[in-house]
Amino acid sequence: MRQNRHVREITSAGKTHPLAGVYGAAVTPFDAEFRPAIDELPRLLDFLASRGCHGALLLGTTGEGPSCSPGEREAIMRAAAGWRTARPDFRLLAGTGTPSLEETSQLTRLAFDLGFEGVVVLPPYYFRNASDEGLFGWFNQLMEKAVPRDGYVMGYHFPGTAGIGFSLELIRRLKDAFPQQFAGLKDSSHDQEFSETLGQKFGRNLAILSGTDSHFLHALEHGAAGCITAPANLLSPELRSIYDSYREGLDSSEMQARVSRERLALEHFVPFAPTLKAILHRKHGLPLWSVKPPLRNVSEDEVVQAIEELEAAA
């Protein structure tokens, strides 16, 4: 691959954030009764670690976190922390955002007590017209109640699904108020212009983790620190190749084009969680895990079609 001097200079210009890298937005194993299949979680995490992921986000959108009770979330987090004792270099993030400040605080404290590197927090998504002042007050309380001085909070910017996101002014206020603890943003806006603006306004002072595989290289070129994506459950080797090549100053545009085609193929079969679980079973031999209602398991015909389209894209 040819070297790209501009990329190399950008890469070497700033210090790498401790959360930088490629993360799988991990699916959650559920049994046929929709209970967390705790004993099977290590197998999934082993799989992600073996395929180049620096870490995993548990209980995000793809992990069906909003469908889990606090007790289920706790069981999943404790199982992951137990597994990580044998894989200390693999980073763990937990999705802890709920509309309830108290519940979010309890889950966030638990994640840090268990040794997770960080949490990814949606804004309280029921009141979609909440002001920036109100959202800042909510996060201010979360930081004071639940986040240690060395803990990292990533805002989860997913307005298309959550109905509410982070304005640039809210991001600035949170970073000014909590320069260490407010580490950055998981940007699932799928908006390249917003990604560019984040880089222009905040540079490398924020760790931006892209949520869109097809924009990954573009995000890196505009200051992103890595990615957290649902297709990383399947595409992590390709995403890791893009990340490593970029950091080495090499051209990864061909690999990015392949990933973009694969992401587009998977977008024909959304929501991602049931399709990813079916493909992980068919192609990689993992158990066939259920999804919680209101999601539904995909049919045999659907998974065959998804695999065919994914392979054609690759």
Structural domain boundaries in the chain? 5-251
Catalytic residue among 23, 125, 152, 156: 156
Name the pTM for this structure.
0.93
Q: Tens-digit pLDDT profile for the chain (314 aa)?
A: 333 333 333 333 457 899 999 999 999 999 999 999 999 999 999 999 999 999 999 999 999 999 999 999 999 999 999 999 999 999 999 999 999 999 999 999 999 999 999 999 999 999 989 999 999 999 999 999 999 999 999 999 988 888 889 999 999 999 999 999 999 999 998 888 998 999 899 988 899 999 999 999 999 999 999 999 999 999 999 999 999 999 999 999 999 999 999 999 999 999 999 999 999 999 999 999 999 999 999 999 999 999 999 999 98
Q: What is the DSSP letter of 51?
A: T
246 flagged as catalytic: no
pLDDT at 310: 96
Tokens, residue 255: 């690999």
Catalytic residue among 16, 126, 197, 201: 126
Length of the chain: 314
What span, in angstroms and rounded, lies between the C-alpha atoms of 10 and 13?
5
Task: Give the contacts of 220 (CB within 8 A, at least 6 positions apart).
Answer: 210, 242, 243, 246
Q: Is 261 exposed, middle or buried (0-12, 13-18, 19+ CB in 10 A)?
A: middle
156 catalytic? Reply is yes
Q: Which pLDDT score is estimated for 3? A: 37
23 is catalytic: no
Residues sharing a CB contact under 8 Å with residue 211, sequence separation 6 or more, in sequence order = 25, 158, 186, 187, 188, 189, 190, 227, 228, 229
Candidate list 23, 62, 175, 186, residue with the active-site label? 186
243 is catalytic: no
Q: Quick one: DSSP state of residue 86?
A: T
Element spanning 199, H or E:
helix 192-202
314/312 Cα distance (integer angstroms): 5
Closest CA to 237 of 206, 223, 258: 258
pLDDT for residue 163: 87
CATH class of 5-251: alpha beta
Q: What is the pLDDT of residue 204?
A: 81
Q: Which of 23, 28, 61, 62 is catalytic?
A: 61
How high is the pLDDT of residue 10? 36
Beta strand segments in the chain, E? 21-25, 55-58, 91-95, 118-121, 152-157, 182-187, 207-210, 226-229
How far apart CA 271 and CA 99 sit, in angstroms, is 22
Strands (E), 141-287: 152-157, 182-187, 207-210, 226-229
